[in-house]
Structure 1
Amino acid sequence: MIDLTDIKLSNAQIAWRAAQDIEDGAYVNLGIGFPEMVARFQPPGKQAIFHTENGVLDFGKAPAPGDEDWDLINAGKKAITLKPGTSFFHHADSFAMVRGGHLDVAILGAYEVAQNGDLANWSTGKGGIPGVGGAMDLVQSAKRIAVLTDHVTKSGAPKLVAACTLPLTGVGCVTRIYSSLAVVDVVDGHFVLREKVTGLSFDDLQALTGAKLHTEGEVRDLICPKELA
């Protein structure tokens, strides 16, 4: 097994890289857990408008520890702050926004992503998210679906695969994957490698990927700030 200890990106670095691609003024939903970190890394001169399924739009950053108002939370039950113009609405209206195609980007985690863009990010197993929830609406309705994930499981098995073996969240929905080792697009039913971490060869990356990696022109180095909280 390839030792990835000093090569792979941290979760914060993956979130930082994903944040760089969010357009200024985009309406963005961040999945529960790891994807919520994207909100910390808005590029200078750009500001996304964040949406949460429980009915808040354009909320602010997390409050300092001890300053939380637990009436103000996102869908992941994390405390949020208000900004001028923050709005509140019923969760049914929130899902009407989702299903109506009003979100530009949805960013989610994943257990598996298939080369045709199928996504599996929920599980009926012990310790898993107990149901598919609103993710099934998000992945079929947002204009762009991005996934943040480790490139392999804890046991070293690929998470980018030829076909998903776990229950699907959505079919043919993923457009870009930001992994701990690479940035990969889904194009015409196959994976196209755009960026990879330095210190890892293409052949080694391919060995850690469960489907063929294609290239179209230059594969850029995947470089992120070293120290991110």
Structure 2
Amino acid sequence: MGLGIETRHRIARRAALEISNGMIVNLGIGIPTLVADYIENDLHIMLHTENGILGMGGSPEAGSEDGNLSNAGGYPVSIQPGASYFDSATAFGIIRKGLLDVTILGALEVSERGDIANWIVPGKRVPGMGGAIDLAQKAKKVIILMNHTDKYGNPKIVRSCSLPLTVKEGADMIITEKAVFHCEDGKLVLREIMSPYTVEDVIETTGAPIVVDEHISVFQ
């Protein structure tokens, strides 16, 4: 089963706390696009998109959408003062030069070492890899937002990915509807649980060993 709208927004709200003043940030397709609506207004940050915007804002008010302005997922966005537009070659040049402080991506699987599989399920037609490989390799910090389990209840956080990899040891953080993990030295460190879940709930539905932080907190 997929996540409900409220749960998806809560994951995005938690991810937004990882963004601080002065950062250049890329938001991937899916739950990551929602993060733009939860970034504090007093922060001076620049949101980057692969389709050619630096200075993207959150979702526009209903009725004020501009058909020429969208994020990488094709959804309408607003623009911040000082924003700039450019072609995809320049957008990827920014990524490949390592100028992104944070990228926030979705994933199909993540391993205990931080390996990321997020571009294809074998046998299914997809439009292409997009910018996932470049983003996961070149951003200074990579945060994964995803369901804790797939639609069949199988863990998406595993010892070793079974799907084709996007990048090895690329993830720094994983945020799901149940927990917040940090990937440190090949281990998954559980730092937060998402209310109303418990540590036991997280352990039972995670397919890899977990180190539970002694100062674990609860995110409401």
**TM-score, scaled relative to structure 1:** 0.88
Secondary structure of 1:86's match? strand
Quote the RMSD (CA, aligned, Å).
1.9
2:187 is matched with 190
1:219 equivalent to 2:216? Answer yes
1:23 equivalent to 2:20? Answer yes
| Partner Cα distance (2:149, 2:125) in 1 | 17
Cα gap change, 1:124 to 1:154, in 2 (>3 Å): closer
Q: 2:32 aligns with which of 35, 55, 75?
A: 35
What is the correspondence of 1:30-109 to structure 2 with a 5 Å cutoff?
30-43=27-40, 45-109=42-106
Q: Which amino acid aligns with 1:109?
A: G
Q: How many residues align?
A: 217
Q: Tell me, yes or no, if the aligned pair for 2:180 and 2:194 is still in contact at 8 Å.
A: no
Offset of residue 26 of structure 1: 0.8
Cα gap change, 1:181 to 1:68, in 2 (>3 Å): same
Gaps of 5+ in 1: 224-229
Runs of 4+ in 1 over 6 A off after TM superposition: none
Q: Which stretch of the first structure deviates more once superposed, 159-168 or 54-63? A: 54-63
Secondary structure of 1:85's match? strand
Secondary structure of 1:192's match? strand
Q: 1:144 aligns with which of 138, 141, 144?
A: 141
Secondary structure of 1:195's match? strand
Offset of residue 127 of structure 1: 6.2
| Partner Cα distance (1:139, 1:148) in 2 | 13
Cα gap change, 1:77 to 1:184, in 2 (>3 Å): same
Offset of residue 222 of structure 1: 2.0
| Partner Cα distance (1:67, 1:45) in 2 | 23
1:117 is matched with 114
Secondary structure of 1:72's match? coil
Q: Which amino acid aligns with 2:149?
A: V
